[in-house]
Structure 1
Amino acid sequence: MFTVIGEALVDVVWRPGAAEPVEHVGGSPANVALGLARLGDPVGLITQYGPDEHGARIADRLGAAGVALDRSDSGAARTATATARLSADGAASYEFDLSWAPKDLTPYPGSVAVHAGSLATLAPGDAVLADMLAGVRGGTVVSYDPNIRPTLHGPVEYARAQVARFVPLAHLVKASADDLAWLYPGEPVEAVAARWLAAGSDLVVVTLGADGGYLATAGYQLRCAAPPVDVVDTVGAGDACMSALLDGLLRAGALTVDTLPALPADAARQVLRRALTAAAITCGRPGADPPTAAELAARLAC
């Protein structure tokens, strides 16, 4: 069982030249949970959504995929939304209407890993999340994705402080090149990864868009090229990568607090290649639509 913690919302996607938006169930943690379920992993999402049409869509979509749901909400009046405006190359910019204020967080029983990040690491819910992660990280792998959204994470000084707070709580940190460019302009990816490893993480992965991905541990660094893809949009691609990273590490027998630091470089390369392929599949279709295990295996076999 995986536990994923954070926002579930509805993405309202405006495409160039469209007269009306298209709506998709989204939210980075919800997308990660969906991706894990499609890869065949038992997973539960701790989230918040309201008793409205959007909330019903979230419950239907995630429930149909097999994701267990714990609303853990404090009487949310409405479901959060994210308005995504796509550029001609498929990249998305976001505007949010949401809140995150859990009173208590408890991982699902028997969880092999707890994943959190994105908007769940912001006030007022950040303190509850940080306390929970600190309590479980001694025996359970914790993964963290900052998933920076400048309109919500800013100002940059606050975002840097929050990242510095959560990185030491995580064994695995995944970020994008865009995250790092906003947080630490001009600083090389390698330098940021080295700082995060020194802070206590065992594995750092940075997605580089069309340039593939970068992975670092205390003992080695490696890069993998991006699989070819005709991009429809990039919505949910990083989340599909995160799901496949966790799933791949589990399949490699490396998803424990003792085995993750000893992950061999050849196994790490295979895990990263598989995760980048999951992201590429997602880029090739609209919205946050991560691949199933069969779709991922078929693409890797090509």
Structure 2
Amino acid sequence: MQPVALVVGEALVDVVHRSDDSVTEFPGGSAANAAVALSRLGRATWFHTCFVDDHYGRMLRGHLESAGVELASDPAAIDHSSSAVATIGPDGGASYVFDISWHLNPLDLPDDVDPVMLHTSSLAAVLSPGAEEVLGVVTGLRDRALVSYDVNARPAVTGTGPDVVTKVERLAAVADVLKASDEDLEALYPERSVAESSRALLALGPSVVVVTRGGDGADWFTRDEEGTVAAVAVAVADTIGAGDTFGAALLDALWERGLAGAAHRDELAALPGDAWRELIGYAVRAAAVTVSRPGADPPHRHELD
């Protein structure tokens, strides 16, 4: 059996409008970015997603193939491929307008692959009907894989409020590693501080909650300890794909530490603070590479070694 990472979630094309009035198209989407990042870091990666054979779909297929990402199902489960129009502000931050179709055909992994890491994120977790299909995949494979969930909220598409929070929390309850940004938590839980929301999510079941804060680094919360890892100072081209790279690199670091697979769930829960600082420091370095260049362009292994 070949141990692999399985990423479940949306693939779309970012149409990027910059302050100099230039417009460029980048294949991406939160889950697609994470799949490409994992593959570039040397992990055999399969991707369960949807797109069709149109202009954007052909861009996505070529992008995934060039990164060595395998498709885990027939992606043609929708009527048009998805896109996001991103406008880059003066600070490099991106705001989005989405055209999303989200639905999955049945998972179709070969018999000889073993999904030891399972990652999902963002729109996939909360946008129906695909969200219910994602939850089914995660619960069906949780006895084999460590589960990672990146909240990556998109209020412009999904809104906020109790229904969205319920969908976020049902995946948090079956995740081992939960990642969110401070902006995600402020949008979902405006009545609480980021730290309070992190601890509340931790109480649902994950072994760790990691909160990214852009240029202020990342905070982490476990049942026994909390800490902060500083950001790496770089010139920011834009922030597209930075959080997705961070999440993928954290999984890669856990895999390198021998923690891939559900059999290592107790070991993950027992990791001390020094280990989390090292693991998250690696993820911070990987994300810094991505923000230093345009679009979702995560690093290859040699760029971090």
Per the normalisation by structure 2, the TM-score is 0.93
Deviation at 1:186, TM superposition (A): 5.2
Alignment correspondent of 2:282: 274
CA distance in 2, matches of 1:71, 1:24: 23
Residue in 1 aligned with 2:153? 148
Task: Provide the rounded CA distance (Å) in 2 between the counterparts of 1:237 and 1:128.
Answer: 26
Name the structure 2 match of 1:124.
129
Please give the alpha-carbon distance, in whole angstroms, between the structure 2 residues aligned to 1:192 and 1:75: 35
2:228 pairs with 1:223: yes
Offset of residue 56 of structure 1: 1.4
> Which residue identity does 2:121 align to in structure 1?
G
Q: Distance in 2 between matches of 1:118 and 1:72?
A: 21
Structure 1 position 230, deviation (Å): 0.6
- Structure 1 partner of 2:266: 258
Judged with a 3 Å threshold, the aligned counterparts in structure 2 of structure 1 residues 163 and 140 are, in CA distance, closer, same or farther, namely same
- Map of 1:114-193 to 2, 5 A cutoff? 114-121=118-125, 122-185=127-190, 187-193=192-198
Output the CA distance in 1 between the equivalents of 2:216 and 2:301. 24
SS of the aligned residue for 1:257 comes to: helix
Report the TM-score, using the length of structure 1 for normalisation.
0.94
Report the equivalent of 2:293: 285
Does residue 112 of the first structure (1) align with residue 116 of the second (2)?
Answer: yes
The CA deviation string for residues 20-68 of structure 1, in whole angstroms up to 9 with x for no partner, is 4100010000000000011111101111111112211111111111111
Distance 1:145 1:106 in 2: 23
Whole-Å Cα distance in 2 between the matches of residues 139 and 209 of structure 1? 33
On the 8 A contact 1:197/1:203 being kept in 2, the answer is yes
Q: Give the superposition deviation at 1:296.
A: 1.4
SS in 2 for 1:169: coil
CA distance 1:106–1:257, change in 2 (3 Å): farther
- Among the aligned pairs, what percent are the same residue? 41
CA shift for structure 1 position 216: 1.3
Secondary structure of 2:190's counterpart equals: coil
Which of 83, 88, 92 is the equivalent residue of 1:86? 88
What secondary structure, in the 3-state scheme, does the structure 1 residue paired with 2:246 have?
Answer: helix
**Deviation for aligned residue 1:106:** 5.7
Q: By how many angstroms is 1:74 displaced?
A: 5.1
Distance 2:108 2:266 in 1: 22
What is aligned with 1:300? none
Whole-angstrom distance in 1 between the partners of 2:138 and 2:207: 15
Q: Is the 8 A contact 2:10 2:29 kept in 1?
A: yes
One-letter amino acid of the structure 1 residue matched with residue 16 of structure 2: V
Distance 1:51 1:272, change over 3 A: same
Q: 5+ unaligned residues in a row in structure 2: which ranges?
A: none
Q: Secondary structure at the match of 1:95?
A: strand
Does structure 1 conserve the Cα–Cα contact (< 8 Å) formed by 2:51 and 2:81?
Answer: yes
Cα distance in structure 2, aligned partners of 1:3 and 1:107 = 9
Aligned length: 296
> What SS does structure 2 have at the residue aligned with 1:113?
strand
Q: How far is the alpha carbon of 1:247 from its aligned partner? A: 0.2
Gaps of 5+ in 1: 298-302
Counterpart check, 1:66 vs 2:68: yes
Is residue 10 of structure 2 the alignment partner of residue 2 of structure 1? no
Give, in whole Å, the separation in 2 of the partners of 1:210 and 1:158: 31
